[in-house]
Amino acid sequence: EAGVTQSPRYAVLQEGQAVSFWCDPISGHDTLYWYQQPRDQGPQLLVYFRDEAVIDNSQLPSDRFSAVRPKGTNSTLKIQSAKQGDTATYLCASNANTGQLYFGEGSKLTVL
């Protein structure tokens, strides 16, 4: 069984640039999560979906961050006008409602 796949693995931007992260969850997992993990901190939830619907995006900085999962499978997290404070690893996870989240290896973002 293939795991959660994320791309790109690394991104380096100047402030003000945009970036998109892509996530392919485990087949059949209806719930998908995006977490932000700054260096030396734990993962912090940004948004999660059940199928194509956003269930909770209360922690997503809506002015610059957006996330979609249009067909209830793959998902894209986009950051517009990145800031240095966005430097972090962005983790995608999926869950088949078993209580076990399966995480990808993450996309490490550095904003200079």
Partner 1 sequence: GDSVTQTEGPVTVSESESLIINCTYSATSIAYPNLFWYVRYPGEGLQLLLKVITAGQKGSSRGFEATYNKETTSFHLQKASVQESDSAVYYCALGDLNMGYKLTFGTGTSLLVDP
Residues lying near partner 1 in the complex (CB under 8 A) are found at 3-4, 31, 33, 40-45, 48, 50, 55-56, 91, 93, 95, 97, 99-106
From CA 65, how far away is CA 58, in angstroms rounded?
Answer: 12
- Least spacing, CB of residue 14 vs partner 1, in Å: 28
Measured distance CA(24)–CA(71) in Å, rounded: 12
Q: Which is nearer to partner 1, 5 or 17 (CB)?
A: 5
CA dihedral 90, 96, 97, 99 (to 10 degrees): -60
Nearer to partner 1, 15 or 51 (CB): 51
